[in-house]
Structure 1
């Protein structure tokens, strides 16, 4: 399996939106299986990036110049630290805080532009990862890769990079550079038989690791599906809430119209009763006049 091939596959996948990652990874792994089973297994073992890691990866793709400026300042800081240049350290540290804060805010804006808004804790982790990239040169390379799986954190002047970069040195599950450097040289110069046994053990370990990663990926996919279902329910609830608010407003309008109609009906009823009384008086007056006219006619005869 070529390391560059895995890096290319990982780069394409880690450029996707978070909700697209799992399906795209699984589909790509299935398509690769017939041609390169090892590469397919390695692709299937790639983990969905954490929100902060995903956002830093997008800064690499969409805010590369600003990120390069920040990491270049980190290199200056490390040089000043090595030279114990206190005045320069103080000046650069102030610039670092300003640049990290500005780029973290820019990351929030970028997330909204990509229609994947994030909350403040994610932006805090983005700032923490950017700071780690300034503290350590290897961490800076990890940030620049655009393939971060998780956020980074500087503990003093050290940053733990194990498993932090998808498709990184050694591939998923492989030993970190520090661990490989610690391996005895004699072991690396073992004979052909020992090398074959080692390769078999490594292959077995790789298969077991790939199986664990596939199980983790399946669990991750189920979690993503549950998250998507929850988001759908939240959207449905928001729609129902909006509809309820609209219905409530309409009900209030109808109540007001009903009260107005009732008021008009009351006025009409009162007017009807008044006209009825006038009609009765007029009828009685007409009847009385008729009686008087009849009496007058009788008197004339």
Structure 2
């Protein structure tokens, strides 16, 4: 194990184990014949919680961090070109990436049993923003060996004690890879948005069709109910007519019987009248 490997292992260790890990690794370096590296390692400071969480992001979310640093390059290029439209376009992406990394940091810290307080979260965000704004801060954050949170103060970047940060170069290859990833992510985002828009359009079309079908159904139900009501009304009228017809037929029958009886009575009266006249004439 050389010094660089030992330093990486030291800052990858749980914060609570930092001192013990540092002593163990320094002892190992010395035993391996690197007393200078052992001394340098012993001089490394224990990270604050905000610095520890930032180092965790550098180790476990390097691609997302590189995206942030590449976006910083775009900001500086747009600023140098006095390109206000480009700066306004990049600003929402800046907030989006900071939010994304802050959430990822909280998740990663929780997996390691470290809860992030509001103060730590603010310092973490300031550190990530400093990494975006200042290349030196970005290199220091990407190295993953911060002992203190960083803050951009206008004339440069300082740690929590106001001391300048250390610098570790970030290669052009990593920066270009980050740009390429961002382009791919943007293309995927655009494709997802188009898919979501198409899905929404299809959903709205289906909703409109359902609404139309429901309207047709409700109109058909209303028409059926109206027809049923009319049938019931006609049935009632028919029953009334049948009842009236039955009563009329019964009346006709009674009147016919009465007529027949009246005719018989009239014939008998005429017969008696004739016989009475004959008797009268014989007298």
Q: Looking at CA atoms only, which structure, 1 or 2, has the larger radius of gyration?
A: 2
2: CA distance between counterparts of 1:157 and 1:92?
22
Q: For the Cα contact (< 8 Å) 1:105–1:123, is it kept in 2?
A: no
Give the structure-2-normalised TM-score.
Answer: 0.54
1:269 — aligned with what? none
Higher relative contact order (CA 8 A, sep 6+): 1
Find out whether 1:21 has 2:5 as its counterpart: no
Q: Who is 1:122 aligned against? A: 120
* C-alpha separation in 2, matches of 1:44 and 1:74: 34
Q: How far 1:8 sits from its partner (Å)?
A: 2.4
Superposition deviation, residue 81 in structure 1:
1.0
In the other structure, the counterpart of 1:151 is 149
Deviations 1:176-220 (A, max 9, x none): xxxxxxxxxxxxxxxxxxxxxxxxxxxxxxxxxxxxxxxxxxxxx
Gaps of 5+ in 2: 169-283
Q: Contact between 2:55 and 2:146, CA under 8 Å: does it hold in 1?
A: yes
Q: How many angstroms apart in 2 are the aligned matches of 1:8 and 1:31?
A: 12
Deviation at 1:32, TM superposition (A): 2.6
Paired residue for 1:12, among 4, 9, 12?
A: 9
- The DSSP-based 3-state class of the residue aligned with 1:118 is coil
Contact between 1:57 and 1:148, CA under 8 Å: does it hold in 2?
A: yes
4+ residue stretches of structure 1 with deviation over 4 A? Answer: none
- On the 8 A contact 2:137/2:165 being kept in 1, the answer is no
Asked if the contact 2:133–2:152 (Cα under 8 Å) also holds between the matched residues in 1, the reply is: yes
Query: 1:55 touches 1:111 (CA, 8 Å); kept in 2?
Result: yes
Residue 224 of structure 1 corresponds to which residue in structure 2?
none
Once superposed, what is the RMSD of the aligned Cα atoms?
Answer: 2.0
Compute the displacement of 1:157 (Å): 5.7
Aligned-partner Cα distance in 1 for 2:165–2:49:
13
Q: Give the 3-state SS of the residue equivalent to 1:33 in structure 2.
A: helix
Q: Indicate the residue corresponding to 2:43 in structure 1.
A: 45
Picking from 52, 75, 78, the partner of 2:76 is 78
| TM superposition shift of 1:48 | 0.8
> Residue in 1 aligned with 2:101?
103
8 A contact 1:135–1:158 mirrored in 2: no
Q: Secondary structure at the match of 1:75?
A: helix
Q: CA deviation at 1:127?
A: 0.6
Asked if the contact 1:15/1:57 (under 8 Å) is kept, the reply is yes
Q: Does 1:139 align with 2:137?
A: yes
- Give, in angstroms, the shift of residue 74 of structure 1: 1.0
The separation in 2 between residues aligned to 1:95 and 1:32, in whole angstroms, is 44
Which segment drifts farther, 134-143 or 93-102? 93-102
Query: What SS class does the counterpart of residue 19 from structure 1 fall into?
Result: helix
1:91 alignment partner in structure 2:
89
Structure 2 residue aligned with 1:179: none
**Rounded Cα–Cα distance in structure 2 between residues aligned with 1:156 and 1:82:** 16
